Structure 1
Amino acid sequence: MISIAVCDKDRVRTNRIKDVLDDMLSSKGVSYHLFCLSDGNGLMELLADDSSGITIIFLDIGPDDGGGRQLAAEITARYPHIALIDSSNAGQGADRAREQLLRSTVARVLERALNQTPREEADKARVLTVMAKGAVHNFMIDAIEYIMSDRRIVIIHENGAETAIYAKLDDIEEKIGPGFVRCHQSYLVNMSRIKTFDNKKIRLFSDTVIPISQKRRIQAREKYFRYLGGTMNK
């Protein structure tokens, strides 16, 4: 059983998402429970109820809705294991391109949810341990947005908080696991926090912008698209 939430005031978009889910999940024989909400407060109350078990959220994060972007950032910070899908284009017309985009996005996220192993569930609670100058620093990996290095100092950004320690970014990259991408000599980014990824920069759900160096561009894109489970057009 998969629990999915749709938070959107537009009933056309909500109904279209429901139709796509019914079609795709019924063909796989997968049962699911769908929560339909029209406001962010109701969504946050639902997420606060541990019994809801929400793993996927469709949310209007369109450019005309600043509240949607803020809500997305808050959800990502509090519930990093939940997959967010932008529903802002789901109801704009019925052309084949938008329909295919919606279906491909849903298929990718559903595949990750259905194929998640117990080991991956356990990985959500992984801790990054860094020893520096005789002190032991522990960080919840899923709470880390990105890590930035400045010479011998590494700054770990966690949901708005910053911790500076003496360490090497190369050493942290080896420890932190496959969920992070090195897009720049000085930056290591949690891929679950990425909102947009283009040739020059990464924008996180928090609206933080991370540069992509020319040297690491292709490798970073390839790793991110593997993480998404898709293919890359170079």
Structure 2
Amino acid sequence: MKIKVASSFEDGIVYDIIIFEDISIMSRLSTIQKEAILVYVLNNSCNIFDNQNMYINYYIREQLLYEDLHQVFYKSKDILLKKINTIFLKSGKINYHIIKDNIIYIESYRNYIVIHTVISDYTLRYTLKKIQKKLGNEFVQCHKSYLINISNISCVRKNFIEVKNGKIIPIGNKYKKLFYDLYNVSYK
């Protein structure tokens, strides 16, 4: 069984690629078919219909490998971003794709928000209310200026929350009951 692992780069994005030299390996690895985007490289002697029992996302031609592979990456980008649970935000001319699980908390300053993630901080022209609609139930407002990712809470005290990066965030009186209700439901 020969398997090669490589990486491909496109505008600062890294894709991990597993290359199988024998297509019969795929039938034994059913988990890869569910988790990955499968690309089948056709040479002149290959027939697409020989491997119909497997779900293959893209067929590319060996003669036009780089052009076809570039198209596969371009078309697969949206599928990959959905699989890793990202949020798409546009602020001015900049587009952001941020992984929801990496967000620790979000801080608001009037019409601007600062998204604090494990990797970096992003400042965008957005309101807290607008971003909360996009994020979903795993994020809860605990103060008029803060949204917290419930999964990144280290410790909860009476009037404050400590998140995984060590930051202490206050709990506002107006949001206390809602926060405790959502926090207790998610950890029961």
TM-score by length of 2: 0.54
Aligned residues: 108
- C-alpha contact (below 8 Å) 2:116/2:122 kept by paired residues: yes
Match of 1:153 among 112, 118, 128: 112
1:160 Cα deviation (Å)? 5.1
Q: Which residue of 1 aligns with 2:167?
A: 208
- C-alpha contact (below 8 Å) 1:194/1:202 kept by paired residues: yes
Q: CA RMSD, aligned part only? A: 1.8
- CA distance in structure 2 between the partners assigned to 1:151 and 1:163 by the alignment: 15
- CA distance in structure 2 between the partners assigned to 1:124 and 1:188 by the alignment: 23
Identity %: 27
1:123 Cα deviation (Å)? 8.0
Residue 170 in structure 1 maps to residue 129 in structure 2: yes
- CA distance in structure 1 between the partners assigned to 2:83 and 2:159 by the alignment: 29
Q: Which residue of 2 aligns with 1:5?
A: none
- TM-aligned CA distance change 1:123 to 1:133, over 3 Å: closer
- C-alpha contact (below 8 Å) 1:199/1:217 kept by paired residues: no
1:130 Cα deviation (Å)? 1.2
User: Which runs of 5 or more residues in structure 1 are unaligned?
Assistant: 1-121, 230-234
1:139 is paired with a residue whose SS is strand
TM-score by length of 1: 0.44
- C-alpha contact (below 8 Å) 2:104/2:164 kept by paired residues: no
Q: Which residue of 2 aligns with 1:133?
A: 92
Letter in 2 for 1:144: I
- CA distance in structure 1 between the partners assigned to 2:82 and 2:162 by the alignment: 24
- TM-aligned CA distance change 1:179 to 1:123, over 3 Å: farther
- TM-aligned CA distance change 1:146 to 1:124, over 3 Å: farther
- C-alpha contact (below 8 Å) 1:124/1:142 kept by paired residues: no
Output one character per residue of 1:119-150: Cα deviation in whole Å (capped at 9) or x when no partner: xxx98721111122233211000011000010
* Greater C-alpha Rg: 2
Residue pairs, 1:78-227, within 5 angstroms: 125-159=84-118, 161-227=120-186
- CA distance in structure 2 between the partners assigned to 1:176 and 1:187 by the alignment: 13
Letter in 2 for 1:204: V
- Identify which of structures 1 and 2 has the higher relative contact order when contacts are C-alpha pairs closer than 8 Å and 6+ apart: 1
Q: Which structure's residues are more often strand, by fraction?
A: 2
- TM-aligned CA distance change 1:203 to 1:164, over 3 Å: same
Q: Which structure's residues are more often helix, by fraction?
A: 1
User: Which runs of 5 or more residues in structure 2 are unaligned?
Assistant: 1-80
2:182 is paired with a residue whose SS is helix
Structure 1 residue runs of 4 or more that deviate by more than 4 Å after TM superposition: none
- TM-aligned CA distance change 1:124 to 1:186, over 3 Å: farther
Output one character per residue of 1:95-139: Cα deviation in whole Å (capped at 9) or x when no partner: xxxxxxxxxxxxxxxxxxxxxxxxxxx987211111222332110
2:174 is paired with a residue whose SS is coil
